[in-house]
Amino acid sequence: MNSHILRNLVFLMILVVANETGAQEAEISADSERPRIGLVLGGGGARGAAHIGVLRELERLRIPIDAIAGTSMGAIVGGLYASGMSPAELENLVETIDWEDSFRDGAQRKDRPFRRKQDDDQFPMRLELGVRDGELQIPLGFIQGQKLGLILRENTLAVADVDDFDQLPIPFRAVASDIWTGEVYVLSSGDLATAIRASMAVPGAFAPVVMDGRTLVDGGLVGNVPVSVIREMDVDIVIAVDVEFPLYGPADMQSAIDITAQMLTILIRKETLRQLDDLSDDDILIRPDLGNYGSTNFGGIANTIEPGAEATRRHAEKLSQLSLDEAGYARHIAARRVQPAVLPQINFAEVVDDGPLSARVLETRLKSETGEPADPSALADDAGRLYGLDLYEQVDYRLVERGEQTGVEFHTRAKTWGPNFLNFGIELQDDLQGDTSFNLSSRLTRRGLNALGAEWRTDIQIGTEPYLISEFYQPLSFDSRYFVAPRIELEQTNFNVFVDQDRVGRYRISNGGVALDVGRELGVWGEFRLGAFAGKGNANVKVGAPDLPESSFDVGGLFSSFKVDTRDNAQIPLDGLLIDIEFTTSRPGLGADSRFDLLETEFTRIWTRGRHSLNTGLKFNTSFQSDDLVQNFFPLGGFLNLSGLAQGAVSGPHAALAKLVYYRRTGETAPNIFDAPLYIGASLEAGDVWQSRSEISSSSVLFNGSVFAGVDTFFGPLFLAAGFSEGGESNFYLSLGRSPL
């Protein structure tokens, strides 16, 4: 190449570099000459989605945002926008989140181990207390924020490696309150998802977040519209958005709850007004017209977005003075938008846990594939499986770098109210004609007794049918598949004796014994057991003629059971399968005073489409060589158990029941997160009992039905039902507690 051509090429390169440098300098100069604009997004619960409408309109008006400070819902919207999400993406997010589910901590039932499914099946009350050093402990928040935390984690993965919030596409501050000092605490660094979660931890509702050595709750207590925080971020003009709930008028306060809410609003509003007084004439205050839209009404949250946009348009004239030209704003947005994260390949997965369980036990719960790109949904599912162990108040995950490898660490935080846990149940059955049964029960479980995950649980029930059952459960391997479980049992049950639909007596059957089981967990969906048992009992007449026979008996034998439970809800299920098969053999050589075999089977399948659910069930129980022992009879009668007959109206050594139950969910499609849906339904039931298998025939089957209304309450499902039989009998039922569905 000759020197003339080389000189021309060098000259052209100098011109190109000079032009690019000049353009950059011109852009920097123009950017430095305009005022820096800070955006303040206040807290207000569901009302805070109005911030999305504000952001959408600010972008339409080409208003550059140089810094954001947010509190509570304002921290969620502001933090995600600062991380690079667009208003359209934010709008799609709030519209597609299942808010009702996100505010429920419980892991999806499909992720819960089989033993934990037994807990919510047998003890439906939505209350868990802890026991430590002989004292009751309660959670620090009604909601631990597990699911919402994972939602925030997934939507901030693109900036997961950013520790300094000034290095986000838009510098950001989240405002929280230090619960111990009562002071405002501004989060400017650390983990973005955790900072947002801390800013919206409403005391009492959400558990506090420990961050930077402080215990943090909702920033609305000390700075719901944090104007002073944005001032410290070196801005010239402030755009503040206030979405606080307005004060009630005299006609709106109808209860003590309204008075309490008014008091809290006054306390928060006082500091908000002080912050807003700091705004100058150059600043802009946007107040969306949301009326009395409830801060907890997340079911209709998208309805608040447009009022935010409308409120912003009312300031269009003043805002237009801050707008950039189209080319300048395009460059501004391009510099702040984050490209969709290219998630790295996961080379390893570990659990960081300071509890007694071996890491190998926990890591067997992980299903994410190593050697594949990180999948946020799969990682969230893994966190859900760990959370489903019910040992932790929160399980989170982080992507980490080790040398040239990228992995995921799951971080667990043990329940502060453990390690002993109390669950509760209540059962009320009333036929509205004077026959009532009532039981209160409790389960005390000591979890994580050793590295393999042993636990000791004791069940106590008082009332019509008291019992005491204590079982020690010891897994035999790190994957918890095989186990051994010794237990003791003491219980009393009632058995009604009927003649021609008239009750003539009631037996009180008492028994106690010991058993030793060995078994295998079948994933999270089932369990198989084999065991041996021995004990004593008696059957005494509690009510009835004195000539009714009484007896005492010794028991001893072997049993096996196979159980499957994939229902989405143990009380009012909408989907899933339940199988329960038990076989018991009693032999004199094993300590019994009589020889018999019992087979008990139950099958239930539930389908749902839209609001409509269909529940089908089949039950068959039979005995072999039972000598007509009353303690081995199977009763029928009661709600969804031949509903037209009284509880236990018919009984015998052989029984069968088939049922078809339909129920429909009523109410709004997207209810308030504190609403409980009402179910209206009806059933068809067919079954009978027989004294011998030779008598079993379709012609002897009794047909019954029912209509009912039910709601799943804090104490368990509540049903009001009327049952009818083909013979003209009818019964009414009030049922609270464990569901018959």
Just list the catalytic residues.
72, 218
Are 171 and 81 in contact by the 8 Å Cβ rule? The answer is no
3-class SS letters over 146-168: HHHHHHHHHHCHHHCCCCEHHHC
Report in angstroms the alpha-carbon separations of 215 from 391, 517, 717: 21, 45, 36
Are 327 and 382 in contact by the 8 Å Cβ rule? The answer is no
At 277, is the secondary structure helix, strand, or coil? Answer: coil
Query: Helical H runs in 337-375?
Result: 359-363
Query: Helical H runs in 173-255?
Result: 192-199, 220-223, 227-231
Are 86 and 340 in contact by the 8 Å Cβ rule? The answer is no
Are 396 and 403 in contact by the 8 Å Cβ rule? The answer is no
Query: Residue 595's beta-bridge partner residues?
Result: none
- Omega prior to 466 cis, within 30 of 0: no
Query: Residue 429's beta-bridge partner residues?
Result: 437, 735
Single out the residue of 320, 238, 312 nearest to residue 279, CA to CA: 238
Integer Cα distance of 478 and 366 in angstroms? 13
DSSP structure string for 418-461:
-SEEEEEEEEEEE-SSS-EEEEEEEEEEE---STT--EEEEEEE
Report in angstroms the alpha-carbon separations of 733 from 437, 464, 499, 638, 683: 12, 17, 22, 8, 14
3-class SS letters over 214-237: EEEEECHHHHCCCHHHHHCCCCCE
Query: Residue 164's beta-bridge partner residues?
Result: 189
- Token pair belonging to 727: 């013979």
Integer Cα distance of 427 and 109 in angstroms? 22
